[in-house]
Amino acid sequence: MKRCYDFLEMTSRSFAAVIQELNPRLRDGICLFYLVLRGLDTIEDDMTIPGAKKRNLLEKFHELIYVEGWTFEDSGPDEKDAQLLVEFDVVIREFMRLPTEYQDVIADITKKMGAGMAEFTVRRVVSLDDYNLYCHYVAGLVGHGLSRLFAASGLEDKSVGENLDLANSMGLFLQKTNITRDINEDVLDGRCFWPAEIWKRYASDTDEIIAKRNRGRGMEALNEMCVNALAHIPDCMQYLESIHEPSVFKFCAIPQVMAIATLTLCYDNARVLDENVKIRKGEALWLISKSADIESVRHVFYMYLVQLERKNHEGIPMYEEVKKIVDRTKRDLVVKMKSKPENLTYEYMALALFVFAMVAFYLYLPQIREDASYRV
């Protein structure tokens, strides 16, 4: 199991820390759930595997996780998570030691996700229905599996594992935020997950989405993608309201607050079309500190909706759509808040001071080390 946590650290950019903070009744199961899906995703992402072979692996992966000693050594040379598959027998061994009800959930989600990924090796994201279906396969199903594991552990009510529409929206909000943000990187890699139903209104081909000569129309497409993702916020908040165990709540809340911060950064931001934008590390740490309970998370969402409102103006074609979503969501949040956010000055000041402190620390760290070394 120690080697599995090594792989978690190697392959997870954002979930490793929060998984390791989970209640012991869930920690190993969710670590292995992540690694099984990461193995599946590594095969799906590998463009060097022939189509027929890839589809067969994706469709059979839920069976392979029960085959003791199975490994895969045919990943392409540039596949960053290839080592996980080379030593996948370690994951299989620990997976088969999990309680049967955990195994059943993981195998079922792996089967559905593998079938969906195989389907999209020959199918493109054209319509909005395609987009929602693709995001369901690669992220909504993760929400399904996690919710069922939460309920199976006894840490959350059984209803959490049954109301899967909300769990699906949790996954779609995260996935759509990432797809919206990653447009430059994806187009340069020769792929695009933005639905053609949206981008074809603004560009003749995917390269033109990010082309500087088409910047105005590209920005319109970007903003429409942001609006599509924002629509999932009410479901996400309703889901978080149903989670009560502290470590499970934080596990669910951290990605969601990161997503609203990222989506706010992306809206009407030309840099998204030129590079991969990310929220600052100091801001990310501040968001983690604000993810311990539902009241704090409501305030975080409200704060970013206010920022989004300030970025939105009547010259943007998506102005009315964004205004409606922001006004409605802010109103719903205020109704449930215990302390009303009549003035967010202190929240902004706290965030600004936190980011400033982190920047100062990193800037002066070399000098601090030099002084410490001199004193020694």
What does the block give as tokens for 352? 């600004």
Tokens 């199918």, residue? 123
Q: Which residues contact 192 (CB under 8 A, 6 or more apart)?
A: 125, 183, 186, 199, 206, 209
331 is catalytic: no
251 is catalytic: yes
Q: Count of CB atoms within 10 A of residue 126's CB?
A: 12
Q: How far apart are CA 224 and CA 323, in angstroms?
A: 13
Read off the DSSP letter of residue 232: T
Catalytic annotation, pick one of 33, 72, 95, 134: 134
Q: How far apart are CA 35 and CA 46, in angstroms?
A: 16
Q: How far apart are CA 136 and CA 130, in angstroms?
A: 10
Catalytic annotation, pick one of 191, 271, 280, 369: 191
What does the block give as tokens for 200? 């074809």
191 is catalytic: yes
Q: How far apart are CA 246 and CA 150, in angstroms?
A: 12
Q: Are 242 and 157 in contact (CB under 8 A)?
A: yes
Q: Count of CB atoms within 10 A of residue 163's CB?
A: 15
Catalytic annotation, pick one of 251, 267, 301, 304: 251
Catalytic annotation, pick one of 38, 55, 148, 181: 181
CA-wise closest residue to 61 among 31, 83, 91, 24: 91
Q: How far apart are CA 283 and CA 294, in angstroms?
A: 19
Angle, in degrees to the nearest 10, between helices 2-11 and 24-45: 50
CA-wise closest residue to 287 among 304, 308, 267, 271: 304
Q: Are 70 and 89 in contact (CB under 8 A)?
A: yes
What does the block give as tokens for 202? 């603004």
End-to-end CA distance of the chain: 40
What does the block give as tokens for 375? 């004193």
Q: Which residues are catalytic?
A: 134, 181, 191, 251
